[in-house]
């Protein structure tokens, strides 16, 4: 049974996505939205059961890959028939100097949830590490931008 909470799920190699998740959690908390942040390590598809809204925060590494700690979770969710009834959004971290694979992991998460019938609550947000801005600042601002609409819909 869903509790109306928002789950922030983190796929990271270096920990930057975790720092971004803290800022998203703060922004949503400031809007009165209950959240729980989970690293994707060892999670199965049932990890999303208690959440109406799923926020994915994922870096990209290698050749556009999902970080190691998120790969099994991605595969588990890929095997689910439907994610209808869930809402989602994705904050993707990447570096535009790798043009061919820029934010590909985030794009994979976004496509997975959309293809499985989940409702997108905010467009995929891409942070460019070479832009000179702090990913965590952008993550917090991004979440604050859609948090009010999420609260009203709840």
Could you report the average pLDDT of every consecutive run of 10 residues in the chain (154 residues)? 76 94 96 95 96 96 93 98 96 89 94 97 93 92 89 58
Q: Identify which of 72, 104, 69 has the alpha carbon closest to the alpha carbon of residue 90.
A: 104
pTM for this predicted structure:
0.94
Packed helices 16-30 and 135-153: angle between N→C axes, nearest 10 degrees: 40
DSSP string, 20-47: HHHHHHHHHHHTT--EEEEE-TT--GGG
């Amino acid at each position: 049974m869903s509790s109306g909470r928002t789950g922030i799920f983190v796929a990271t190699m270096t920990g930057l996505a975790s720092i971004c998740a803290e800022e998203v959690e703060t922004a949503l908390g400031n809007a009165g939205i209950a959240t729980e942040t989970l690293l994707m390590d060892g999670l199965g598809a049932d990890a999303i059961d208690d959440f109406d809204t799923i926020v994915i925060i994922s870096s990209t590494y290698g050749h556009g890959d999902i970080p190691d700690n998120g790969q099994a979770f991605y595969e588990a969710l890929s095997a689910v028939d439907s994610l209808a009834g869930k809402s989602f959004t994705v904050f993707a971290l990447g570096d535009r100097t790798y043009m061919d694979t820029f934010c590909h992991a985030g794009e994979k998460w976004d496509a997975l949830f959309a293809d499985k019938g989940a409702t997108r609550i905010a467009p995929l947000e891409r942070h460019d590490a070479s832009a000179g801005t702090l990913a965590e600042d952008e993550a917090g601002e991004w979440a604050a931008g859609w948090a009010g609409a999420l609260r009203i819909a709840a």
